[in-house]
Amino acid sequence: MSYKRVLLVMIIISVSGLLVYFLVQMEQSATQQTADSRPIPLPYNWIGSITKAQIAEPSGITYHPTRRSLFIADDSGSIHEINLHGTFIQAKGLNELDIEGITMDPGTGLLYAAIEDDEVIIEIEPKTLTIQRKFRIARDFKGELLLKKGGMGIEAITFVPDASHPEGGTFWVGNQSFSLKAKDESSVVCEVVVPLRTETAAIADASIINAYKMNFIDISGITYDSQADILVLISDTTNLLVEMSREGKILGKYLLPGDEQEGITLDGLGYMYIAQENGAIIKLGDRRLR
């Protein structure tokens, strides 16, 4: 065999080897992406419902570390406070507002609730459950209308504290959608800056600074996991718990127990609380890897 033929055979073998290598790498990458997107059962210890008296249609829940209690919003526009064993502390109606999520700022202890359709965040004093201020969220981001008036509206809210931020941190809200089609309302999570520290007016404006479209529908709750520095979202329709970085990357998906999950919070002590629309507040030992 001539030198040229030998060289040609070696080139063909080398190219074939490289082609096989790249095909294997592409297959492994696709397999890994499929594995990453496939939900796995949520690891937890079942404790059960802690509610001693049913709360009609809870829509959001948050843990208050100073008061060591849970604040729960319901669809009728009321806020309820219970201790970690489910014992009633207080409740108050807030003018039949359509409250769909609740959170708190650990820097001040104040509560913040999301008002669906109006796309408004209200500030609430936790001792008296009185409204102090309102913040209107701009509906668009970079020229795209994300929070459509008359649409499904914001369904979830959490606060991520940041001592270096001029407002003490930012809010994250989830817009509810039951479709992933491009022409329909977006299933999106937005980071929102609210002038908590730099504005004293009773009504002020807030703006979206980041937005991440989700590949699942019906965002019904969101909370901040401070230990892992991630956001934890839940979807009622798909029974999912989704972990997301603050850069919008999906880190994990878990299958949730129960149904009608409308709110989620963590107490930083190893427990997760899920508010179900049927009135139950489910407590779980959180066994997700940190």
Asked if the model's pLDDT at residue 76 lies above 60, the reply is yes
Query: pLDDT higher for 194 or 116?
Result: 194
pTM score, two decimals?
A: 0.85
Question: Which pLDDT value is given to residue 4?
Answer: 60
Least confident of 90-104, 136-150, 224-238, 258-272: 136-150
pLDDT at 9 (0 to 100): 55
Give the Cα separation of 158 and 142 in Å (integer): 22
Two structure tokens written together for 67: 């008061």
Q: pLDDT by residue (tens digit) across 136-193? A: 999 988 888 888 777 677 889 999 999 999 999 999 999 887 777 777 778 899 999 9
- The CATH classification number of 42-286 equals 2.120.10.30
Residue 5, CA distances (Å) to 12, 52, 146 in order: 11, 85, 62
Sorted by where each begins, the domain ranges of the chain are 1-38, 42-286
Question: Which residue, 195, 191, 213, is CA-closest to 205?
Answer: 195
Report percent pLDDT > 90 for the chain. 64
The pLDDT value given to residue 17:
59
Q: What is the pLDDT of residues 236-267, one digit of tens each?
A: 888 999 999 999 999 999 999 888 899 999 99
Question: What sign results for the dihedral spanned by CA atoms 255, 257, 261, 266?
Answer: negative
> Which of 4, 235, 236 lies closest to 244, judged by CA?
235
Provide the 8-state DSSP code for 113.
Answer: E
Q: Which pLDDT score, from 0 to 100, does residue 26 have?
A: 47
271 pLDDT more than 90: yes
Structure-token pair, residue 96 = 């039949």
Structure token pair of residue 102: 């609740």
Tokens of 177: 């959608």
Q: Of 118, 221, 130, 210, give the one whose Cα is nearest residue 170.
A: 210
- List Cα–Cα distances, 43 to 23, 32, 79, 182, 286, in angstroms: 35, 21, 30, 34, 7
Statement: residue 195 has pLDDT above 90: yes
Which residue is it, tokens 């963590």? 266
